[in-house]
Structure 1
Amino acid sequence: MTDSAAGAPTVFPAVLHRDARAAIRLLTQAFGFREEAVYEGAGGTVLHAELSYGSGRVMLGSEGRGGVFDAAMEDAGPAAVYVVVEDTDAHCARAGAAGAEILMPPTDRDHGSRDYMARDGEGNVWSFGTYRPGAPS
């Protein structure tokens, strides 16, 4: 690892969507992600997109675009992603106001985190909370 990469994430969730454009809209408008890159194929198919939140990123694309990853994910079902946020209650309020389906309201957890859970339009579960995996206690 080079010095410039020190502290940079090395794990990136990747999710395929039937409607990747709708997923990008929900993730940016409801959950506060920032669109970093979107690469399109013929007909506007999202081949690859990267959205950031804090120092993390999620990669996503359209189902049915072909290739090994698309074939491997064909029967994978929904995914779950956890994202660290500073203010769980404010983040949940924003998500709900933007139309996200809230599965669990902000809740204090036994491990010291305050979390909430939402589902996107294609069944993927997004958890947001104050717990930072790997952070010194």
Structure 2
Amino acid sequence: MAGAARGRPSIFPTLLYADAKAAIKQLTEAFGFTETSVYESEGGTVLHAELTYGNGAVMLGSKGRGGLFAETMKDAGPTATYIVVDDVDAHHERAVEHGADILMPPTDQDYGSRDYMARDAEGNIWSFGTYAPEIPA
């Protein structure tokens, strides 16, 4: 599998934000992501950023920054991303403390997971739960 041999994820959700700096702040403070890299233009536009959580990562940047990806994504709507967490209730408490818009409080699901759902400041949906699907070898 590409990437797995080097300990790197093979899939990176990529999001564009009108205010990428505010998104980075919310994702790190409220949801516990770790900022691993941020590349800005001379004017301070976030050209590319990488945030990690566990063994996964997301990439993000500023809307309107130019380039083919930004152009093709300019009218894209919000997206949804699922993140596996060990302690849903503690993670939820952190998100609430930082003012996250909680759509569903921690809930036990019929399939054995416990998860909650939140919306970020630009409408993207983030689900956090204990369900961790296994990827076949």
Same-fold status (TM-score > 0.5):
yes
Q: How many pairs were matched up?
A: 136
Measured in 2, the distance between the counterparts of 1:21 and 1:3 equals 28
Measured in 2, the distance between the counterparts of 1:111 and 1:85 equals 16
Measured in 1, the distance between the counterparts of 2:135 and 2:99 equals 32
Answer yes or no: is the 8 Å Cα contact 2:114–2:130 preserved in 1.
yes
Scaled by the length of structure 2, the TM-score of the pair is 0.93
Measured in 1, the distance between the counterparts of 2:114 and 2:6 equals 28
Deviation at 1:3, TM superposition (A): 9.4
Q: 1:107 to 1:4 in 2, by over 3 A?
A: closer
Deviation at 1:76, TM superposition (A): 1.1
Measured in 1, the distance between the counterparts of 2:14 and 2:20 equals 12
Correspondence for 2:69: 69
The aligned amino acid for 1:107 is T
1:21 aligns with 2:21: yes
Answer yes or no: is the 8 Å Cα contact 2:41–2:47 preserved in 1.
yes
Deviation at 1:135, TM superposition (A): 5.7
Correspondence for 2:85: 85
Q: 1:128 to 1:3 in 2, by over 3 A?
A: closer
Answer yes or no: is the 8 Å Cα contact 2:3–2:10 preserved in 1.
no
Correspondence for 2:48: 48
Answer yes or no: is the 8 Å Cα contact 2:78–2:123 preserved in 1.
yes
Give the 5 Å matches for 1:1-137: 5=5, 8-134=8-134
The aligned amino acid for 1:74 is K
Answer yes or no: is the 8 Å Cα contact 2:88–2:129 preserved in 1.
yes
Measured in 2, the distance between the counterparts of 1:65 and 1:7 equals 30
Measured in 2, the distance between the counterparts of 1:112 and 1:84 equals 13
Gaps of at least 5 residues in structure 2 are none
